[in-house]
Amino acid sequence: MPLTPSPEIDSPSARIEDRIVYAALCGRIAPGERLGEKDLAEIFGVSRTLVREAMMRLQARGIVQVSSRRGWFVIEPTEEEARHTLDARRALEVGMLVTLGKVDAPTIQALRAHVQAEQAAIEKNDRAERSYLLGHFHVCLAETLGSPVLAALLQDLTTRTVLIAALYQSSHDACESSAEHELIIDALEAGDVPEAARLMDTHLRHVENALNERHVRSRLKNLKAALSHPD
């Protein structure tokens, strides 16, 4: 499933931009990873000026950040930023479904094909492909429903969510996530748009709850380690 194209997709800087987003969605780039201009220029065979153009666009999209002394880095969202990201996704995705009319058969078919690809990646234990497909389902949904502006926004928000999950190690099970995607499609196929919107809201709250639970466990683990009796 291809990424939603960036503006000027044929330009070298846009290709760098899309490759970095794809790697982040696959979980191949970790939060806080340094993206050196010199290294990227060598990898892509372009000038550092073109690399800088790509980095500046990714910064505007909230995917990388710059340090005046150390260069470009993949974002490391705080807990508050993580919740703001999930709140924004919920507002956009539930709102998108609430305003829907009838969904046609080709759209349902495309969405089911995406979920089948998710399930195949889960069965193969292909973590990179699984991560990409589970996140990109939401972009695919917006694209197939004819909302290119929302698709572009969701691509950035889902990329941030994947980085959040990597940072806080969300325990939300991939199988459960894919099954929830399938339930949303079932509701759309049945013409029950309010139910599809409710299921999407529940799905995104499950993601947030999983993050919260993991944070509590990590905090308690750290506290226990800090207070343990020295050997």
Note whether residue 231 is domain-resident.
no
Instruction: Verify that 44 and 66 share a domain, yes or no.
Output: yes
Whether the per-residue pLDDT at 36 is higher than 80: the answer is: yes
Instruction: Verify that 115 and 181 share a domain, yes or no.
Output: yes
Query: Which of 29, 46, 74 is where one domain is finished?
Result: 74
Instruction: Verify that 156 and 137 share a domain, yes or no.
Output: yes
Q: pLDDT value at position 178?
A: 93
Instruction: Verify that 89 and 200 share a domain, yes or no.
Output: yes
Instruction: Verify that 86 and 150 share a domain, yes or no.
Output: yes
Instruction: Verify that 188 and 157 share a domain, yes or no.
Output: yes
Determine the distance from the C-alpha atom of residue 15 to the mean position of all C-alpha atoms in its chain, rounded to a whole number: 19
Whether the per-residue pLDDT at 223 is higher than 50: the answer is: no
Q: What is the pLDDT of residues 63-74, one digit of tens each?
A: 999 988 889 999
Instruction: Verify that 156 and 191 share a domain, yes or no.
Output: yes
Contacts of 227 (CB under 8 A, 6+ apart): none
Q: What is the pLDDT of residues 160-208, one digit of tens each?
A: 888 877 655 443 578 889 999 999 999 999 999 999 999 999 999 887 7
Q: Which of 153, 139, 167 is nearest to 81 (CA)?
A: 167
The beta strands (E) that lie in the chain are given as 64-67, 71-74
Print the domain residue range for 161.
Answer: 79-223
- Give the pTM: 0.78
Confidence of residue 8 (pLDDT cuts 50, 70, 90): very low
The domain tally of the chain equals 2
Instruction: Verify that 116 and 70 share a domain, yes or no.
Output: no
Task: Kindly list the distances between the CA atom of residue 193 and the CA atoms of 25, 68, 149, 158, in Å, as whole numbers in the listed order.
Answer: 28, 48, 21, 22
Distance CA 53, CA 56 (A): 5
Task: Kindly list the distances between the CA atom of residue 151 and the CA atoms of 59, 102, 167, in Å, as whole numbers in the listed order.
Answer: 18, 19, 24
CATH number for position 48: 1.10.10.10
What tokens does 211 get?
């993050």
Query: Which of 51, 74, 97 is where one domain is finished?
Result: 74
CATH number for position 121: 1.20.120.530
Note whether residue 109 is domain-resident.
yes
Whether the per-residue pLDDT at 212 is higher than 70: the answer is: no
Whether the per-residue pLDDT at 78 is higher than 90: the answer is: no
